[in-house]
């Protein structure tokens, strides 16, 4: 590995905790003070000032700028996290949405425009998925799952049926069973078929009267299209059960196939994946829910309504609704960014994105399968899963290879997921990677494969060119230093070790 | 435009490597009858200037609306730093070696939130204050013996509605409201004392939805006998002035910290926060960042206590939350660092002083507040519904009409003053009432 040219994005920075720069009186900010200060004895104020760092503006700016340089973002390079769809985040979306941030939701005239945008977004998402109705308020994918499953729960209760089990294939994301449990369902994991997709015959083995729904990701987390989904939907419907689709991988099928045609009753999409809104280092995302006409009455409140004069407003008059799932309108600003994205691509651009996303992934797969184990030969769309089976002979694991990729200036793929593949490496390049970057990724992976037999230790030692080397996560969980003061009370000091 | 770049030459290379003749063949695994053969009905593609024109929006200049979403001064450095792509476009920090920036910044956010609330630990964020309250109630409901969730009716109505949604399927847990005193606007202490028991988890908002300061010493003394108790803070700026919630020894302090460096945003993104005492840390929902070291013994940060979370525990996880409000938490850390101890205190003091200024001016005009107890920076006045529209025509958002949530109060308006308002704004409002 030593002769490999690495692209280091990272400077040599050791940035202490901000509190260590604090000293009384350093912050000289002049804050707005339009009113004379009242005594405020009636509020029985705290005697001491809040315990926050007292630092100058330049120290704050430099501290966080230095921290930013310890991070890897999409604008640095390829970020092939499988099922996360880390595509380029258009700057124009930030620019436009950024101008709409000062609006208070009680401003009825401004909100008329905002609700108009929201309704356009609903309509476009319905068009892409073929679904009848949409709720934009869930703030993230898992929040969408929970909302969708609550919607199904309410519909089942209303029908008087006693159905409480949700079947979930073993390739599912962990949020699926977790969201079902919080919505009050019992979950049952079912195996996917030998070829990496769920077959109707497997479903039949598990389909009982108690089954409320099947929750399936399509294309699934192996990147495989669930080709028996229409028959699966038919069986479920015959049984009085619903088909829920996790739309995490919608980026593979925009304008190519619509969930409604597959028999989907309820689904969520991730705007921060498919529609190019930034993930912000962990959010805010957005997870709108889409349903059929039958489930529409149970969607969360409020709904957007338009009166005869064309004015938009919100209605809470929904007798069968599950109720509110967010204190206001979800991550509205993210909704705006997604709408800008949709309009900037248009119908043809969206279809083109799905085609190119699948082409890019298949290009990588066709080249990488020569050096890595490909556990499923079934055709895939926008992502695929390799394993570390071949490299394990030399005791090189998926973790080693993920860390080694950082040396080449890449963010690693999703690793050790899905759980059905031992040592999984799940790669989703997205449509926005140019072929040169894909080729560079292939070269990096091939070098890693070669190094794993020639010099495995050098892979165990990666990453070396990052701000830190491998991190002791076990120590973190045992010692639980979760704040500055917990660190202080632990004694001086882990940091200066 | 799909932001993809693929020349005909590249396309040929790719098709050749895959072993197909046309791009569409890449979808051969999708059954024919499931293919969509029409064109989606979506406007576009629009160029950047046309896009801008689609999003022109008339925004009011003078705003007195709060109600859980507040307008505060945001130091310019907050936008400058939070829009750096390294923070903006990164994913959840699963790979700590190349995510130390996000990890340390959120660790610092956790530290500042724990300090401000007077609690041991803060998580890395929740979607908003309402879902934070719902998750706190779910956490309480798992504690042995808890049968009732008691919440003051003076708690934000939307928070109570979200709570109801989340608890709907739990047949063995009932949701009960404590009334408020119609004169003071505070939680009715007599009713509260009668309802609190060891089989109850209680939640009280401070300042409450009416802006009124609750008698926290009395409430805490009684809540101490509950099986679990939590404080709700929808206006985080109040933490800069009032005694910290931790001094009342609650099990959790949850709420919304949108006010820390996050604009109203037409309703979101907001910033749910979740703080607990150490004994509850393993029951806590959401991501938590911990301090540790790397193999060279240097300071490093990573996600920790993952064994509570959905990707490990699946259906047994403490919560299903995965993506949270990371960038909003970063903005809060930036805001608190920029404002500092004195700046935060001043913002809070200005809010409270401004509310008193407007309240006195309204009294001079014969408009008395509905409730008698002291307020932080919001208060309720009687106001006819049609008045809101006429004010807005003059570019003023006069507040939030609250009678649909509180019919017992009659036609009323929740008025909020922050350091973003001026005396001229106040005169402007008063003249039109």
Residue A303 CB partners (closer than 8 Å, separation 6+): A135, A314, A315, A318
Q: Using an 8 Å Cβ cutoff, are B132 and B254 in contact?
A: yes
B118 and chain A in contact, CB less than 8 A? no
CA–CA distance, A352 with B195 (Å, rounded to integer): 61
Please report whether residue A146 resides in a domain: yes
Per-residue pLDDT of chain A (497 residues; tens, 9 = 90+): 444 455 667 877 789 999 999 999 999 999 999 999 999 999 999 999 999 999 999 999 999 999 999 999 999 999 999 999 999 999 999 999 999 999 999 999 999 999 999 999 999 999 999 999 999 999 999 999 999 999 999 999 999 999 999 999 999 998 999 999 999 999 999 999 999 999 999 999 999 999 999 999 999 999 999 999 999 999 999 999 999 999 999 999 999 999 999 999 999 999 999 999 999 999 999 999 999 999 999 999 999 999 999 999 999 999 999 999 999 999 999 999 999 999 999 999 999 999 999 999 999 999 999 999 999 999 999 999 999 999 999 999 999 999 999 999 999 999 999 999 999 999 999 999 999 999 999 999 999 999 999 999 999 999 999 999 999 999 999 999 999 999 988 754 444 43
Q: Using an 8 Å Cβ cutoff, are B210 and B231 in contact?
A: no
At residue B361, the pLDDT reads: 97
DSSP assignment string, A83-136:
TT------HHHHHHHHTTTT--TT-HHHHHHHHHHHHHHHHHHHHHHT-SEEE-
Residue range B145-164: mean pLDDT, rounded = 97
Question: A residues 320-349 near B, CB within 8 Å?
Answer: 322-334, 336, 340, 342-349
What are the CA-CA distances from residue B181 to residues B185, B209, B370 (Å)?
5, 13, 11
Structural domain boundaries, residue B424:
62-71+341-432
CA–CA distance, B268 with B263 (Å, rounded to integer): 8
CA–CA distance, A474 with A496 (Å, rounded to integer): 19
Kindly state the tokens that stand for A431. Answer: 């449509």
CATH code for the domain of A133: 3.40.640.10
CA–CA distance, B156 with B205 (Å, rounded to integer): 8
CA–CA distance, A342 with A410 (Å, rounded to integer): 28
What are the CA-CA distances from residue B400 to residues A378, A452, B287, B415 (Å)?
57, 64, 34, 7
Indicate the helix (H) or strand (E) that contains A29.
none
At residue A6, the pLDDT reads: 54
Long-range own/partner contacts, residues A190-196 (CB < 8 A, 24 or more apart): A192/A220, A192/A222, A192/A420, A195/A224, A195/A376, A195/A377, A195/A378, A196/A171, A196/A220, A196/A222, A196/A224, A196/A376, A196/A378
ipTM for the predicted complex comes to 0.97
Q: CA of A84: which chain B residue's CA is closest?
A: B91
Please report whether residue B2 resides in a domain: no
Please report whether residue A223 resides in a domain: yes
Task: Give the minimum alpha-carbon distance from B305 to chain A in angstroms, rounded to a whole number.
Answer: 6
Which of A14, A31, A146 is best to mutate for the B interface (most B CBs within 10 A)? A31
Domain boundary at A304, A321, A343, which?
A343
The answer to whether residues B292 and B174 belong to one domain is yes
Q: Is the pLDDT of residue B289 over 90?
A: yes
Please report whether residue B1 resides in a domain: no
The answer to whether residues A241 and A154 belong to one domain is yes
Which of B60, B102, B267, B329 is best to mutate for the A interface (most A CBs within 10 A)? B267
Which of A64, A136, A174, A426 is best to mutate for the B interface (most B CBs within 10 A)? A64
Task: Give the minimum alpha-carbon distance from B162 to chain A in angstroms, rounded to a whole number.
Answer: 5
Beta strands in B173-214 (DSSP E): 174-178, 200-205
Task: Give the minimum alpha-carbon distance from A453 to chain B in angstroms, rounded to a whole number.
Answer: 24
CATH code for the domain of B122: 3.40.640.10
Structural domain boundaries, residue A127:
92-343
Name the 3-class secondary structure at B175.
Answer: strand
DSSP assignment string, A143-155:
HHHHHHHHHHHHH
Question: B residues 21-50 near A, CB within 8 Å?
Answer: 23-24, 26-31, 33-36, 39-46, 48
Question: A residues 418-437 near B, CB within 8 Å?
Answer: 431-432, 434-435
Q: Buried b / exposed e across B100-126, counting CB within 10 Å, b at 16+? A: bbbbbbbbbbbbbbbbbbbbbbbbbbb
Residues of B in contact with A467 (CB under 8 A): 97-98, 100
Domain boundary at A314, A343, A372, which?
A343
**Ramachandran sector of residue A184 (left: φ over 0; alpha: ψ -120 to 50; beta: rest):** left
Q: Is the pLDDT of residue B234 over 60?
A: yes
pLDDT digits over B319-356, tens only?
A: 899 999 999 999 999 999 999 999 999 999 999 999 99
Please report whether residue B3 resides in a domain: no
Please report whether residue A456 resides in a domain: yes
At residue A102, the pLDDT reads: 96
The answer to whether residues A359 and A306 belong to one domain is no
**Phi, psi values for residue B256, rounded to 5°:** -125, 130
Q: Using an 8 Å Cβ cutoff, are A209 and A199 in contact?
A: no
Please report whether residue A491 resides in a domain: no
The answer to whether residues B348 and B428 belong to one domain is yes
The answer to whether residues B211 and B356 belong to one domain is no
**What is the side-by-side order of every strand in the sheet holding A133-135?**
A133-135, A289-291, A266-269, A242-247, A211-217, A165-169, A186-190
pLDDT band per the 50, 70, 90 thresholds, residue B7: confident
Residues of B in contact with A53 (CB under 8 A): 112, 336-337, 340
Task: Give the minimum alpha-carbon distance from B264 to chain A in angstroms, rounded to a whole number.
Answer: 5
Closest CB from B3, B17, B389 relative to A432: B3
- The radius of gyration of chain A's CA atoms, rounded to the nearest angstrom, is 25
Q: Using an 8 Å Cβ cutoff, are B168 and B116 in contact?
A: no
- The radius of gyration of chain B's CA atoms, rounded to the nearest angstrom, is 25
At residue A8, the pLDDT reads: 63
Count residue pairs from A and B with Cβ separation < 8 A: 690
Q: Using an 8 Å Cβ cutoff, are B102 and B326 in contact?
A: yes
CATH code for the domain of B376: 3.90.1150.10
């Amino acid at each position: 590995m030593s002769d490999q040219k690495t692209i280091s994005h990272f400077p040599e920075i050791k940035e202490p905790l901000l509190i260590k720069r604090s000293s009384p009186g350093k912050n000289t900010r002049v804050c707005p003070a339009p009113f004379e200060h009242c005594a405020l004895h009636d509020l029985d104020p705290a005697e001491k000032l809040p315990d926050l760092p007292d630092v100058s503006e330049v120290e704050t700016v430099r501290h966080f700028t230095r921290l930013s340089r310890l991070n890897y973002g999409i604008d640095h390079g390829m970020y092939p996290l499988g099922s996360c769809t880390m595509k380029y985040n258009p700057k124009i979306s930030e620019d436009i949405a950024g101008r709409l941030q000062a609006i208070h939701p009680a401003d009825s005239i401004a909100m008329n425009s905002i609700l108009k945008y929201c309704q356009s977004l609903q309509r476009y998402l319905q068009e892409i998925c073929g679904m009848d109705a949409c709720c934009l308020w869930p703030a993230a994918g898992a929040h969408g799952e929970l909302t969708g499953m609550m919607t199904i729960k309410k519909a089942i209760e209303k029908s008087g049926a006693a159905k409480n089990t949700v079947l979930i294939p073993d390739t599912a994301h962990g949020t699926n069973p977790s969201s079902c449990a919080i919505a009050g369902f019992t979950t049952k994991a079912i195996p996917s078929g030998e070829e990496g997709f769920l077959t109707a015959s497997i479903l039949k083995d598990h389909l009982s009267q108690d089954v409320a729904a099947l929750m399936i990701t399509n294309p699934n987390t192996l990147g495989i299209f669930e080709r028996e989904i229409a028959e699966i939907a038919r069986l479920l419907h015959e049984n009085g059960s619903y088909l829920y689709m996790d739309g995490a991988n919608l980026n593979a099928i925009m304008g190519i196939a619509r969930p409604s045609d597959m028999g989907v009753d309820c689904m969520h999409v991730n705007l921060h994946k498919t529609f190019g809104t930034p993930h912000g280092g962990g959010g805010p995302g957005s997870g709108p829910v889409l349903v059929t006409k039958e489930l529409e009455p149970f969607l969360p409140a409020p709904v957007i309504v338009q009166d005869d004069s064309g004015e938009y407003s919100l209605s809470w008059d929904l007798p069968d609704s599950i109720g509110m799932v967010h204190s206001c309108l979800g991550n509205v600003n993210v909704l705006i960014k997604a709408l800008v994205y949709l309009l900037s691509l248009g119908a043809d651009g969206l279809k083109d994105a799905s085609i190119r996303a699948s082409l890019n992934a298949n290009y990588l797969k066709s080249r990488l399968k020569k050096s890595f184990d490909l556990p499923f030969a079934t055709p895939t769309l926008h992502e695929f899963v390799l394993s570390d089976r071949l490299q394990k002979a030399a005791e090189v694991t998926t973790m080693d290879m993920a860390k080694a990729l950082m040396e080449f200036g890449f963010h690693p793929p999703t690793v050790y997921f899905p759980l059905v593949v031992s040592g999984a490496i799940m790669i989703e390049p997205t449509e926005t990677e140019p072929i040169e970057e894909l080729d560079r990724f292939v070269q990096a992976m091939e070098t890693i494969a070669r190094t794993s037999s020639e010099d495995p230790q050098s892979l165990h030692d990666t990453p070396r060119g990052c701000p830190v080397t491998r991190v002791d996560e076990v120590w973190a969980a045992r010692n639980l230093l979760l704040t500055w003061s917990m660190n202080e009370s632990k004694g001086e000091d882990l940091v200066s070790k | 435009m799909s932001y993809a770049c693929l020349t005909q030459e590249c396309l040929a290379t790719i098709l050749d490597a895959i072993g197909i003749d046309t791009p569409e063949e890449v979808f051969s695994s999708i059954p024919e009858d499931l293919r969509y053969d029409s064109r989606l009905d979506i406007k576009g593609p629009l160029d950047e200037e046309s896009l801008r024109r689609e999003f022109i929006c008339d925004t009011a200049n003078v705003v007195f609306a709060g109600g859980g979403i507040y307008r505060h001064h945001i130091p310019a450095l907050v936008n400058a730093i939070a829009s750096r792509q390294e923070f903006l476009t990164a994913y959840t920090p699963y790979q700590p070696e190349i995510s130390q920036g996000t990890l340390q910044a959120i660790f610092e956010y956790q530290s500042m939130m724990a300090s401000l609330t007077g609690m041991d630990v803060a998580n890395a964020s929740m979607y908003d204050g309402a879902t934070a309250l719902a998750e706190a109630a779910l956490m309480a409901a798992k504690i042995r013996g808890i049968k009732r969730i008691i919440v003051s009716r003076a708690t934000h109505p939307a928070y109570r509605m979200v709570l109801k949604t989340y608890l709907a399927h739990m047949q063995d847990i009932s949701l009960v409201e404590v009334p408020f005193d119609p004169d003071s606007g505070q939680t009715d202490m007599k009713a509260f004392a009668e309802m609190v028991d060891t089989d109850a988890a209680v939640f009280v908002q401070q300042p409450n939805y009416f802006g009124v300061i609750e008698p926290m010493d009395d409430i805490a003394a009684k809540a101490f006998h509950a099986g679990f108790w939590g404080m709700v803070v929808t206006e985080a700026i109040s933490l800069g002035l009032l005694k910290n919630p931790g001094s009342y020894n609650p099990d959790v302090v949850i709420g919304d910290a949108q006010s820390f460096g996050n604009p109203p945003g037409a309703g979101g993104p907001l910033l749910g926060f979740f703080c607990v005492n150490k004994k509850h840390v393993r029951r806590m929902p959401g991501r938590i960042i911990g301090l540790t070291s790397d193999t060279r013994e240097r300071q490093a940060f990573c996600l920790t206590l993952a064994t509570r979370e959905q990707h490990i525990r699946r259906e047994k996880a403490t919560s299903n939350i995965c993506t949270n409000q990371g960038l909003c938490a970063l903005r809060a850390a930036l805001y608190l660092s920029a404002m500092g101890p004195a700046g935060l205190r001043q913002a809070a003091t200005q809010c409270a002083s401004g509310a008193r200024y407007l309240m006195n001016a309204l009294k001079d005009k014969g408009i008395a507040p509905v409730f008698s107890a002291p307020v932080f920076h919001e208060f309720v006045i009687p106001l006819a519904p049609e008045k809101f529209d006429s004010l807005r025509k003059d570019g003023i958002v006069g507040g939030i009409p609250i009678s649909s949530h509180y019919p017992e109060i009659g036609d009323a308006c929740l008025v909020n003053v922050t350091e973003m308002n001026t005396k001229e704004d106040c005169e402007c409002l008063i003249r039109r009432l």
